[in-house]
Amino acid sequence: MTATTPVDTSSSTAFREASRRRTFAVISHPDAGKSTLTEALALHAKVISEAGAVHGKAGRRGVVSDWMEMEQSRGISITSAALQFAYGDAVINLLDTPGHADFSEDTYRVLSAVDCAVMLLDAAKGLEPQTLKLFDVCRHRGIPVITFINKWDRPGRDALDLCEEIKQRIDLEPMPLTWPVGEAGRFRGVLDRADGSFIRYTRTAGGATAAPEERIEPARALDEEGEDWTHAVESAELIDISGGEFDVAKFFDATGTPVLFGSGVLNFGVRHLLDLIVALAPRPTPRIGVDGTSRSLDAPFSGFVFKVQTGMDKAHRDQVAFARVCSGVFERGMVVTNATTGKPFATKYAQQVFGRERTTLDVAYPGDVIGLINASALRVGDTLHAGKPAVRFPGLPSFAPEHFAVAYPADLSRAKQFRKGVDQLAQEGVVQVLSSERRGDGTPVFGAVGPMQFEVAVHRLLAEFGCQVKLDHLPYKMVRKLGDPKQRATTNLGNRGEYFTRADGTELVVFTDQTALNVTLRLNEGFLLEPLVAGTT
């Protein structure tokens, strides 16, 4: 589309284009193969020609979605990434999320921008702690979940045991659509439960290209696969007996999960997952504003910012705000209103994002994720809208920090760069930046959900601002919200704790341990403290 081509902003266009969108996140415990699967999906959609799924393997590049230097060197995802591509007539908006638990706050933000989630389970490990937390978030938000049991090419657990674990531990009814032929580590292919046929996979060199598939009739499958085929058929029948037949209503009300088996690194079973997403994943629906009213898909443009990222382009170090389009038709260049500040925001520099790669975007529809460049005026949780009526969507959660450290520049001559970098990290949500009257404005305190957030903050301050940072870790383990800010002046915490103010204005009180908290409450009758609950606004 050229700049002079008129954009059809009619209601019918907004509805039609929204119906083509599938916006979902890939979530899992660390090392379950999430980024590898993300790239395998892009490979099957033919938007890349060769996968670089194996980190650190000679001659192979890092996965498309892991663009940050630390991600490529460590082989883990530490920031979310957005990829948009076409698959048939559908438009896929795929959000890869950090696998490490220390970056769960970023994952929670991403889940606010999707309509569906693909949960990845390691065939050898099943449901792990981070997986359990993410299932809980999906359930709380009513997000339907598709389960992909990954790494079936390696030794692992029995398929029936894994399905039973899903049912017993998270109360989701597993509804397998494929069933593995061959035990974990001897992956031959899958039984397609829709028609009873056998889909045999053929390995490619290092899994770099899409795996060829051959569909085989049951009689021939029995002939060629023998006991493996018989065991697969009998196991699948047991699933039906136990109530595991597919029921689309259970998927949409988040009480059941379709289950697929495969191997992301070998590209086995990935096409089935992509086809299932297109066929089954929810289309965008109207979003509810803070006033309880629903914003129709054909209303004037609205969207909300769920992520801010700087440093994706080393040449310019510009800042990108990722926004989910909620209603209407977005046109590059339109001036929208930031509902948080009431100020206008020009969208001249809007881009479509594919990992680190970016191209100019002229138009977007409900369900799309757009990248707004030079977006220093935008914050995570901001709502953008065009025209009237105005709308503001619910904000995003700030988690209760569990680790604290005083940050200061090793070289005081770099204090200006230090302050600029800290402000940027706070805006992106890399760490929570806290201020303390005891320490002064020039000595911020970093709050983090996990200690690896400190490593990312220190790395980025050095790489992007040339500022080497020292951290003095603080002994605080308990954090509460101050119920009545006036009590700050009348309640002395002594050496038991400290008052902090978060960037959003929230007053926090931190304590060294539970005993310090109890003593403070005993000595100060009526001292009002409130819990901070992760995942709530």
Q: Which domain, by its residues, includes 161?
A: 21-280
Higher-confidence residue of 9 and 444: namely 444
Boundary (domain end) residue, out of 280, 295, 330: 280
Q: Is residue 11 part of a domain?
A: no
Residue 3 has pLDDT above 90, yes or no: no
Assess whether 104 and 251 both reside in one domain: yes
What is the pLDDT, as a whole number, of residue 356? Answer: 62
**Of 280, 310, 342, which residue constitutes the final position of a domain?**
280
Is residue 13 in some structural domain?
no
Q: CA quadruple 342, 344, 345, 347: dihedral positive or negative?
A: positive
What total of structural domains would you count in the chain? 3
Work out the number of other CB atoms within 10 angstroms of the CB of residue 166.
Answer: 24
Q: How far is Cα 391 from Cα 383, in angstroms, rounded to an integer?
A: 8
Q: 92 and 281 in contact (C-beta within 8 Å)? A: no
In a domain, 231, yes or no: yes
Tell me, what's the pLDDT at 165? Answer: 96
59 vs 227, which has greater pLDDT?
227
pLDDT of residue 12: 85
Tokens of 20: 């083509």
Q: How large is the average pLDDT for residues 500-504?
A: 88
Mean pLDDT check: name the lowest of 59-63, 164-168, 175-179, 263-267: 59-63
Q: What does the pLDDT read at residue 259?
A: 97
- Has residue 441 been placed in a domain? yes
Residue 453 pLDDT level (bands cut at 50, 70, 90): confident
Residue 53 has pLDDT above 50, yes or no: no
Count the neighbouring beta carbons within 10 Å of the beta carbon of residue 222: 16
> Angle of helix 129-141 relative to helix 104-111, nearest 10 degrees?
30
Burial of 461 (0-12, 13-18, 19+ CB in 10 A): buried
Asked if residue 6 belongs to a domain, the reply is no
Provide long-range contacts, Cβ within 8 A and 24+ apart, for 356-364. 356/64, 356/67, 356/81, 356/312, 357/64, 358/312, 358/313, 358/320, 360/332, 361/332, 362/1, 362/3, 362/7, 362/331, 362/332, 363/1, 363/7, 363/329, 363/330, 363/331, 363/332, 364/325, 364/329, 364/330
Residues 207 and 108 in one domain: yes
Distance CA 239, CA 176 (A): 8
Residues 168 and 185 in one domain: yes
90-94, 246-250, 394-398: lowest mean pLDDT where? 394-398
Helix axis angle, 270-280 relative to 34-44, nearest 10°?
A: 80
Q: What confidence score (pLDDT) does residue 67 get?
A: 39
Residue 58 has a pLDDT of: 34
DSSP SS3 for 216: strand
Asked if residue 272 and residue 301 are part of one domain, the reply reads no
Q: What is the C-alpha separation between 81 and 356, in angstroms, rounded?
A: 8
Q: Is residue 519 part of a domain?
A: yes
Give yes or no: residues 206 and 291 share one domain.
no
Given a cut of 90, is residue 251 above it in pLDDT?
yes
Per-residue model confidence (pLDDT) at position 503: 82
Q: Which of 32, 43, 235 is nearest to 118 (CA)?
A: 32
- Mean pLDDT (the chain) is 86
User: 425: which residues sit within 8 A by CB, 6+ positions away?
Assistant: 431, 433, 457, 460, 461
> Taking a C-beta distance cutoff of 8 angstroms, is the pair 85, 45 a contact?
yes
End-to-end CA distance of the chain: 40
Chain length of the chain: 537
Statement to judge: residues 113 and 226 lie in one domain:
yes
The band of 533, judged by pLDDT with boundaries at 50, 70 and 90, is: low
Residues 6+ apart with CB under 8 A from 534: 104, 397, 399, 400, 449
Backbone φ and ψ of 309, nearest 5° = -135, 135
Confidence category of residue 39, pLDDT binned at 50, 70, 90: confident
Sign of CA dihedral 259, 277, 385, 313: positive
> Which residue stretches of 84-176 are H helix?
104-111, 129-141, 159-170
* pLDDT at residue 109, as a whole number: 81
Mean pLDDT of 475-494: 91
CATH number, domain with residue 75 = 3.40.50.300
Binding residues for GTP, as ranges, are 96-100
- Angstrom CA distances, 265 to 268, 384, 416, 507, stand at 8, 39, 45, 46
Residue 269 pLDDT more than 90? yes
What is the C-alpha separation between 285 and 325, in angstroms, rounded? 11
Residue 449 has pLDDT above 50, yes or no: yes
- Residue ranges at the known binding site: 96-100
Helix (H, G, I), strand (E, B) or coil at 312: coil
Instruction: Give pLDDT tens digits for 303-360.
Output: 999 988 776 555 555 678 899 999 999 999 999 999 999 999 999 988 887 656 778 8
pLDDT at 61: 45
List pLDDT tens digits, range 357-394: 778 889 999 999 999 988 888 988 899 999 888 999 99
Which pair of structure tokens corresponds to residue 241? Answer: 């007996």
Q: Is the same domain home to 76 and 135? A: yes
User: For residues 215, 221, 227 and 229, what is the CA-based torsion angle, rounded to 10 degrees?
Assistant: 40
β-pair type (90-96, 189-192): unpaired
33 and 150 assigned to the same domain = yes
Tell me the average pLDDT across 112-119.
94
Confidence at residue 331, expressed as pLDDT on a 0 to 100 scale = 94
> Does the pLDDT of residue 54 top 50, yes or no?
no
Q: Is 130 left (phi over 0), alpha (psi -120 to 50) or beta?
A: alpha
Residue 166 has pLDDT above 90, yes or no: yes
Q: Clarify whether residues 356 and 499 are in a common domain.
A: no
Q: CATH number, domain at 320?
A: 2.40.30.10
**Residue 507 covered by a domain:** yes
- Kindly state whether residues 81 and 224 are assigned to the same domain: yes
Helical axes 159-170 vs 227-241, angle rounded to 10°: 20
Is the model's pLDDT at 66 over the cut of 80? no
Tokens of 231: 């065991």
What is the structure's pLDDT at 315? 55
Write down which residue in 385, 418, 439 finishes a domain: 385
Any idea what the CATH number is for the domain that residue 464 is in? 3.30.70.3280
Q: Are residues 248 and 343 in the same domain?
A: no
Structure tokens at 331: 């046109």
Contact 145, 259 (CB under 8 A): no
Q: Would you say residue 268 lies in a domain?
A: yes
- With a CB cutoff of 8 Å and minimum separation 6, the contacts of 35 are 53, 63, 65, 66, 77, 96, 99
Residue 444 token pair: 């911020």
- The pLDDT tens digits of the residues spanning 173-198 come to 999 999 999 999 999 999 999 999 99
Q: Is the pLDDT of residue 231 over 90?
A: yes
DSSP 394: -
- 448 shares a domain with 495: yes
Give the model's pLDDT for residue 98. Answer: 66
